Structure formats: C-alpha cells, structure tokens
Structure 1
Amino acid sequence: MQYQPLDATDAEFIEDILLKYGDDHSVLNLSELDGYFTALVSGPVQVDIAEWFPAIWGGQNPDWDSPDEGKRFIELSVRHMNALATQLATNVQAFKARFEQTEHQGQTLTLAEEWCFGYLRGVAVGNWPELPAPQAAKLQVIAFCAEQDNFELPADLDVAQHRQRVEAIEPAACALHDYWVAQRQG
C-alpha cells in the first residue's frame, strides 16, 4: 500500500480524467474527489471499491480509452485515499483539504463548496447513520458550505463570515473522523 500524497502530475492526471469521463452526475474535480474520499475514510465502516468507485461516475463506470488509463486512475485514487486515511489517523494537524481558490474584489478567497459537496457524497455512499447532536452540528458546518453557490460570489459577500465558515470545515471533518474511529474501536 502506498501512502504517498499525490504530486502535481498525479493531481493533473486525476483532474483530466474526471473532466474527460465526468458528467452532471459525477465528481467533477479533485477538490470534490478529495472531500468524497475524506468522508469515505472517516465514516463508520469501510466502503468497498465496488461501491465507492462507480459513485465517482454517478453510478456508471467509464468506458476507458485504455485499460492502463483506468488502472492508473484507480491506483492514484486508492493511493490518495490511503494518504488521507493515514494523515487523519496519525498527523491530523497536517490535514489540509483540497479547497479551491478564487479572486473576489482583489482578494484571494478559499472556496470549499466543491470539497463539501464531495464530502456529502461520501457520507451518502458510506451510508452514515444519524449522528448525535454534537457530531450532527459538525456535519452541518460542511453541509452548509456545500449548499452555497460559490461560482458567482455576490458583490456584497461578507468576506469575514465566509472565511470563518471555511476555516471551520477542516476541524469539523477531523472531529467527525475522530468520532467514527472511536465508534469503530468501541
């Protein structure tokens, strides 16, 4: 098993494949895939590749141009999942979600919508049961951001509030991971 994080070439390959084979029902970029995998490795049970892989594509596996292309995508996906699982389990302070960046009125803003949307997709595929109130509140931090339309930021965006909400996402994801780890061990 490889636990090495993706490098820039690997990330670009994944992005290209998601664009090439994706549609309106699939994971569309690496940020969304990162959120998806974070939820999968954080959940109550391990989800089999036979369930999580087709869900990337909206339920239907791609008709690959070549077997090598499909094999490489799967290997990189599994490697990324393993790296996330290892990081969340052993070095949670270093956990960094793959959020996107944009310019808004001359400022760089972090966008977390796609990552959060992917996380919720992972929660659904992982079939998470109802959470106790403290953990449900953590999940709501992520769900709220997934519901935001960050493609066109409003001119009157409260930048400070936006940043606070985005800054709360990684700690919420880590807390949910820790909760499920404790449940699995208990």
Structure 2
Amino acid sequence: MPDQPLNAADFDVIENTLLQYGDDHSVLNPSELDGYFSALVSSPARVDIAEWFPAIWGGQNPDWDSPEQGKQFIELCVRHMNTLASQLALDASAFKARFETTEHQGQPLTLAEEWCFGYLRGVAVGNWPQMPAPQAALLQSIIECAEQDNFELPADLNVALHNQRVAAIEPAARSLHNYWLDRR
C-alpha cells in the first residue's frame, strides 16, 4: 500500500482533512495540494517535511483531533508525493495534474487555477532560484494561470484560449521537473 497511488477514498480523506483544519492561509483542496507537491518534487533541492508540511497549513501545524488522524494525513501526503516524483522522473507521460472541472454555458470546463496556485506555493517553499528565460517562461505560464479568477467565469470567456492555456500547464510542469532533475 505505501507504494500505491492514492485512490478516490484517499483523496476524500485529504479533502476532508483540509476542510477540517484549513483556513484562508492553507492549502484548500486536493487540486491545490497536488500542484504544491508537484512543485516540491520538482524542486532544485530536496525540501524537508519540517518545511513543506507546516506550509500546507499556512505555517502552523493543526491541533489534530487524534494522533492517528495526523499520521494518516502525513502518510497520504507522502504516498502522493512519491507517486508524483516517480511519474515525473520515470514516466512523465503518466503525470496528470489534478485539475478541477466546472460547467460553463452547459459544457464541461477544466480549471487549473487552484493547481497552479499550489504549484507556486511549492516553488516558494522550495526556494527556487532564477532560471534561464525558457524555463522562466514555462513558470510564467503557471503564474498567469494562477492569477486568473475562475471562481466567477465571465460569460464571454474565450473557451478556446482558456483550454489552450490549461493544456500548456502539464507540459510546463514536466519540463520544469526535468530542468531541475538534470541539475540536482
């Protein structure tokens, strides 16, 4: 089980835990957590749990209802990080970001804002240094997506352009992982 990717029930536990202990300064949902972990496993240097775990909660660890609950959450986080690290390092085509979906004018629409916001949180915790222009441009595409306000989609949303921007996020994350992997 420790090597197994998380299943839907595991992600439900993560979501419920984030809702129970989170606030305006913490990671809010599994999509944001997935982006956060994707950046952490892509970082130029290993980030210790003592740094990345409190950052999930905005800097302050939760006061768990029980030690078992905290242990379960940490184990699920580590399993998911290991899955992401393996996917990105060994089979990047298997890497799929946990984007959210919504409906816009009767059609399904993929939202990447929360994932990108989590990714940028991971970049900050990982203390990423400046990168050459091509890699900086890849990161900029994630930054721009994180700055979009997808909570209230405009009626005149350019869906084709939106989809094009979202489609660029996973390849950017793969490329950034490869860039740092080659320099570790």
TM-score normalised by structure 1 residue count:
0.98
Distance 2:8 2:106 in 1: 27
Partner residue of 1:115? 115
CA offset at residue 94 of structure 1? Answer: 1.2
Partner residue of 1:159? 159
Deviations 1:17-37 (CA, angstroms, capped at 9, x unpaired): 000000000000000000000
Distance 1:25 1:88 in 2: 28
For the pair 1:34 / 2:12, whether they are aligned, the reply is: no
Runs of 4+ off more than 6 Å? none
Distance 2:123 2:53 in 1: 14
| Kept after mapping to 2: 8 A contact 1:2/1:83 | no
| Kept after mapping to 2: 8 A contact 1:102/1:110 | yes
Q: Cα RMSD (Å) of the superposition? A: 0.8
Distance 2:172 2:35 in 1: 12
Deviations 1:39-97 (CA, angstroms, capped at 9, x unpaired): 00001000000000000000000000000000000000000000000010111011100
SS at match of 2:173: helix
Distance 1:4 1:37 in 2: 16
| Kept after mapping to 2: 8 A contact 1:35/1:116 | yes
CA offset at residue 4 of structure 1? Answer: 1.6
Unaligned runs of 5+ in 2: none
Unaligned runs of 5+ in 1: none
CA offset at residue 3 of structure 1? Answer: 3.0
Query: What amino acid is the match of 1:136?
Result: A
Distance 1:174 1:10 in 2: 24
SS at match of 1:64: coil
Partner residue of 1:44? 44
TM-score normalised by structure 2 residue count:
0.99
- Percent identical among aligned pairs is 77
